[in-house]
Amino acid sequence: MEEQKVSGEINRVAVTGAAGFIGSHTCEGLLDAGKTVIGIDNLSTGKRINLKGIGEHDRFSFFQADICQEDAMATILGDFQPDAVIHLAALVSVPIAEHNPDENYRINVLGTKLVAQAALKAAARRMVFASSAAVYGNSDQLPLSEEGPTNPINQYGMAKLEAETLLLSYEKSHDMTSTCLRFFNVYGPRQDPTSPYSGVISIFADLCASGRPVTVYGDGRQSRDFIYIKDITRGIITSATNTELPGGIYNLCTGQGKTLLELLDALKGIDPDVPEPIFEGEREGDIKHSLGNPSVARRILGFEATTNFAEGIRELQN
């Protein structure tokens, strides 16, 4: 942790939500890129085991702290003096956010504000925020584009949208480049499969690995823009560390929809003996298709999701 802040390059990066699925992969990617990293997590849903590969790394330190504790955040970031802050900590469950709107607001909006204020106070030059395709709501104007309308249909999406607005207003009034990345359906190793509201890929991969049948809600022809974790972390890290890139709002997506039937085919390609799926009625409130437009991120960030779907699924079973 001795190396000094050098103006120009981004060397010191703080990551909130570091012990989560996306956070832990992000910390690994930053360390691989030679950065000095601190990870902050209150371990409410994040797990220490996610950091087991980097816990002893000499350029990594972990702090168990809550983003809503203003003093703790000010102290941690003030001591570390990050060049960039990547804010991934959140109340991540859409249904839990729906049932606890105050908690959702406290963590996903006010918590983001506190992190941004602490980042500014610590003179961070860049901030990256984990937003979500949930800000688009149930739009039929596919593919979903940053310039298109936002119309969140749940508390989670509303909070992410409000936090985006807040961060962009900070960018206007302060000397901190803010980048809001709208993640589509992220999948990859370490994603928790245990909740009924976990992402469908983690649930299916987990069931298939133990020879149990999956349940498909609906006819399996619904589609999502599934994006592999390594692509997501590349987008996050580039946005945080490339000082040439402007802030703003960007989709992180592949631009290619995959149906659940295609997902089942990919899983069958790995293990032809996976049991036949059980088909049930559609899940209430489900959307049929979700698809992002990747062209703005490609043009401005130079971002491209390169992981082939079948390869990404194969990585889960290793």
CB atoms within 10 A of CB 285: 11
Judged by beta carbon, residue 95 or residue 101, the one nearer ligand UD2 is: 95
Residue 143 in the binding site for ligand UD2 (CB under 6 A): no
Which of 126, 150, 147, 133 minimizes the C-alpha distance to 243? 126
State the helix-helix crossing angle for 111-121 and 155-173, rounded to 10 degrees.
20
- Nearest approach in angstroms of CB 172 to ligand UD2 is 30
Nearest residue to ligand UD2, scored by beta-carbon proximity: 94
Please report, as a single letter, which amino acid is at residue 97. A
- Nearest approach in angstroms of CB 287 to ligand UD2 is 5
Stretch that binds ligand UD2, among 80-88, 118-126, 217-225, 295-303 (CB under 6 A): 217-225
Stretch that binds ligand UD2, among 116-124, 169-177, 215-223, 229-237 (CB under 6 A): 215-223
Please select the residue that binds ligand UD2; options are 217, 261, 265, 314, rule is CB under 6 A: 217
Residues 235-294 that bind ligand UD2 (CB under 6 A): 260, 283, 286-287, 290
Tokens describing residue 78: 């003030």
Stretch that binds ligand UD2, among 77-85, 214-222, 236-244, 300-308 (CB under 6 A): 214-222
What's the CA angle centered on 85, arms 96 and 42, to 5 degrees?
A: 40
Judged by beta carbon, residue 73 or residue 90, the one nearer ligand UD2 is: 90
Alpha-carbon dihedral 32, 43, 106, 249, rounded to 10 degrees: 20
CA–CA gap between residue 173 and residue 145 (Å, rounded): 26
- Nearest approach in angstroms of CB 309 to ligand UD2 is 15
**In the chain, where do the E strands start and end?**
12-16, 36-41, 60-64, 84-87, 126-132, 177-183, 185-187, 215-217, 223-224, 226-228, 248-252, 258-259, 278-280
19 DSSP 8-state letter: T
Residue 95 in the binding site for ligand UD2 (CB under 6 A): yes
- The answer to whether the beta carbons of residues 226 and 309 sit under 8 Å apart is yes
Please select the residue that binds ligand UD2; options are 50, 155, 185, 293, rule is CB under 6 A: 185
Please select the residue that binds ligand UD2; options are 87, 182, 224, 258, rule is CB under 6 A: 224
Judged by beta carbon, residue 55 or residue 285, the one nearer ligand UD2 is: 285
Tokens describing residue 43: 């371990």
Please identify every residue annotated as catalytic.
156
298 DSSP 8-state letter: I
- Nearest approach in angstroms of CB 188 to ligand UD2 is 13
Catalog residues that contact ligand UD2 under the rule CB under 6 A: 94-95, 154, 185, 197-200, 203, 215-217, 222, 224, 260, 283, 286-287, 290
